Amino acid sequence: MSNAAVEVAGLWAGYNRHTALRDVSFTIEPGCLAGLVGPNGSGKSTLMKVMLGLHQSWRGAVRIFDKDGKEYKGRIGYTPQFELIDWAFPVTAYDVVLMGRYGKLGLVRRPTKRDHEIAMQALERVGMADRRQRGIGELSGGEQRRVLVARALAQESDLLLFDEPLAGVDATAQHDLLRLLEELRVDGQTLFVATHDLSCVAANFDHVVLLNRSVVAFGRAEEVFTEELLSKTFQRHLLVLPGEDRTFVGP
């Protein structure tokens, strides 16, 4: 029996004959805020889709809280990349969060009083209850991301996967989101966050997976954010600024 929240072992996946993931293995402990870092095309989104059961792996295994990933996918919350969402769709913030309950309703059931209560609790948790009737297109970028987090929370998830939640927001919104992720971690949630922001990961995350189709390194940021490992991960896409305290700037 494993105590890991996430255990990925020997995972291979791709599209047609194109290999997106090559022999990927790592573990994430329960209650951990873990980062997934790599350049565009490194397989980050594919990895999350395999963990969610949305993409079939070629071989290897994913176990979530010591259960097969397929058995556990109803307990995984997910927020996709921001640009993949149609923010002009005519729904309110509350509607979006309530959609997080639909996977538990089946094809014919309507949301119950309890489902509505859970949706409201999720909005309150992310500080968006007072904006619940606003159209999603009327919200700021930071508010939209908070709504997506609330939607994932409404799924009553044990594991939360976030695909680039920090991209394209200003410093204030980024700070607020990071504080929210930290609060969720303190509450016992396990979070796995794909991001290009190396400085945020170094300052706030427990562990990080460096990925470029295969795992380059896994461990604490101070252990794996070295010039050698980051250069191997990002190759020509990494700018290294040397100084007394070396600073690494991602793409």
**pLDDT at residue 243, as a whole number:** 46
Task: Reply yes or no on whether the pLDDT at 10 is more than 90.
Answer: yes
State the Cα–Cα distance between residues 123 and 11, nearest whole angstrom: 35
Top pLDDT among 200 and 35 is at 35
Alpha-helical runs (H) found in 91-140: 93-98, 113-125
Nearest to 137 by CA among 92, 84, 79: 92
State the Cα–Cα distance between residues 156 and 100, nearest whole angstrom: 9
Token couple for 14: 């791709």
Q: Which residue is listed with tokens 């461990």?
A: 219
Q: What is the pTM of this model?
A: 0.86
**pLDDT at residue 169, as a whole number:** 78
Quick check: helix, strand or coil at residue 19? strand
- State which H helix or E strand residue 152 sits in: helix 141-154
Contact 132, 94 (CB under 8 A): yes
For the chain, the straight-line distance linking the first and the last C-alpha, in angstroms and rounded, comes to 39
Contact 209, 161 (CB under 8 A): no
pLDDT digits (tens, 9 = 90+) for 154-201: 988 889 999 988 887 788 888 888 888 899 899 889 999 999 888 889
Q: How many CA atoms lie within 13 A of 223 on its CB side?
A: 10
**pLDDT at residue 92, as a whole number:** 96
Strand partners, 7: 27, 63
Task: Reply yes or no on whether the pLDDT at 109 is more than 80.
Answer: no
